[in-house]
Amino acid sequence: MQNEQAEVTLEDLRIGSDSVLRKVYEENRDKFLNYARRFNLSEDENVDVYQDAYVIFYDNVMNGKIERFTSSISTYLFSIGKYLIFDRMRKNKKTVGSNFDLSIVKDEAASIDHLEIDTPVLTREQQLLRQHFGALGKQCRELLTLFYYRGFTIQEIMESENYNSENVVKAAKSRCMKSLRERIKANAS
Amino acid sequence: MDKEILLYRYFSNQLTEQENTQLQELLKTDSDFRQQFDFESSLKRIIKDKENKDLKTKLGGFEKAISEKKAVRTLWYGNFGKWSIAASVVLLVGLGWFFNNLFSTNYEELYENNFQQYPNTVYSITRGESAKSIEGDAFVAYETGDFQKALYNFHAINEEDRNDYVDFYMAQSYLQINQMEKSKEHFQKVIDENGEFAAEAHWYLALIAIKQEDNEMAKQQLNELISKYDYNKDKAIELLSELN
């Protein structure tokens, strides 16, 4: 596995097997940490930033904001990581040292302008929705996750989950949504 | 275009520019449409939130494996150096001990290397909210490592209000205070009810079996995990090979 030279494709990431996720993590980790060490964060924070950058990158692959790779995966991770490091340093009230130039970061980060990086905290309603979603049956949770998170089309869901027809998938999805709405309604009354 | 189809195309990232204009227009003018759109957007948002947390936990696992690999490498070279000297003095006795240790399973070490408390991924605790519900109290206690209190509160939730993940976190809490049998009982319940954390429950049952040096049970749980789920699959395969 380690000798595998094949590039990880967008499609591989969308399927998201553990081995692909691990490969991407391991291949970029040392480079990223070496880079991050020039800033004044602790090693644990650097690892944390790397993981956060990875999660954001992956999320943007899933939500379709990254439709094709215009640069390598490591460039995305670095650009997002830099943004996060600066954000953290601002929050830690650490001064930005003179050994690097903010404008460079800005330019390179331009490629991530269209990405979703900051996510607002969940509203009270969304927290409730999350609880009700968690209480749905496994099949519903998986179906809705494939659709809303992985961005699968009805046809793709049919193929990957062995449903008999697209109509069966549609009906199942409607049932799940109905059940979710009913749970919310029951909770509100 | 049909409103349903418009929403469908929006959420499966297939909207054309023209359709997007139509969608924006409807959002302004049609309140039912807006409501449906907001509901589905919220759903997308919370699923994303959950998946991101799961991914972060998974990355934590990768990270742990990397640091352990480094640690094992140092340990191995260190021991080998020592034993090569010992073997030159009492060759037979030394080698006998060496092989014996090399081929027997060190259960405690396997457990320690693989055990990680499962983070709270289900209940969002925001500041000032801690006292709002019993479940909230339980998770606050869980996150702060007060497992006795967490259990007390988990038990206080009415049966009918109990979300299916509660058993999983009860099992985790029992595990933390070394009440293995109770912990096993709740993990088993998660599996029997095919709850959200069934895969994770197999993993932890395997770890408990390892701690209790029950090789057969550990293998059984790992095999179930590998054949049915993707969670920790690589680790489970690795662990299984160490048990064989």
pLDDT tens per residue, chain B (244 residues)? 688 899 999 988 888 999 999 999 999 999 999 999 999 999 999 999 999 999 999 999 999 988 877 766 555 555 555 555 555 555 555 555 555 555 567 777 778 777 777 777 777 665 444 445 788 888 888 877 888 889 988 888 887 777 778 999 999 999 988 888 999 999 999 998 887 888 999 999 999 999 888 889 999 999 999 988 888 888 899 888 888 8
Domain match, A19 and A103 both: yes
> How many interchain CB pairs under 8 A, A with B?
110
Q: Would A119 be classed as within a structural domain? A: no
Domain match, A67 and A140 both: no
Is some CB atom of chain B closer than 8 A to the CB atom of A89?
no
| Exposed / middle / buried, residue B212 (Cβ in 10 Å: 0-12, 13-18, 19+) | middle
Q: Which domains does chain B have, with CATH numbers?
A: 113-243 (1.25.40.10)
Kindly state the DSSP code that residue B203 receives in the 8-state scheme.
H
Q: In CATH, what number is assigned to the domain containing residue A44?
A: 1.10.1740
Domain boundary among A65, A92, A112: A112
* Residues in chain A closer than 8 A to B56 (CB atoms): 51-52, 55
Domain match, A26 and A69 both: yes
Domain boundary among A87, A112, A137: A112
User: How many CB atoms sit inside 10 A of residue A177's CB?
Assistant: 17
Beta-sheet strands, E only, within chain B? none
Q: Would A168 be classed as within a structural domain? A: yes
Residue in B44, B49, B234 nearest the CB of A18: B234
Domain match, A107 and A160 both: no
Encoded tokens for B6:
């418009």
Encoded tokens for B172:
């985790």
Is some CB atom of chain A closer than 8 A to the CB atom of B14?
yes
Shortest CA gap A102–chain B (Å): 28
Least confident of A56-60, A87-91, A167-171, B3-7: A87-91
Q: In CATH, what number is assigned to the domain containing residue A148?
A: 1.10.10
Encoded tokens for A45:
């924070």
What span, in angstroms and rounded, lies between the C-alpha atoms of A43 and A55?
Answer: 18
Domain match, A83 and A134 both: no
Domain holding A96, by residue range, is 10-112
* Residues in chain A closer than 8 A to B198 (CB atoms): 138
Domain match, A128 and A105 both: no
Is some CB atom of chain B closer than 8 A to the CB atom of A119?
yes
Decide if B40 contacts B11 (C-beta within 8 A). yes
What span, in angstroms and rounded, lies between the C-alpha atoms of B120 and B206?
Answer: 21
For chain A, what is the domain count? 2
Instruction: Map tokens 């130039």 to a residue.
Output: A101
Encoded tokens for B244:
């064989």
Q: Would A3 be classed as within a structural domain? A: no
Is some CB atom of chain A closer than 8 A to the CB atom of B5?
no
Q: Would A65 be classed as within a structural domain? A: yes
**Given an 8 Å threshold on Cβ–Cβ distance, is B52 in contact with A47?**
no
Residue in B58, B60, B196 nearest the CB of A141: B196
| Exposed / middle / buried, residue B222 (Cβ in 10 Å: 0-12, 13-18, 19+) | buried
Domain match, A144 and A75 both: no
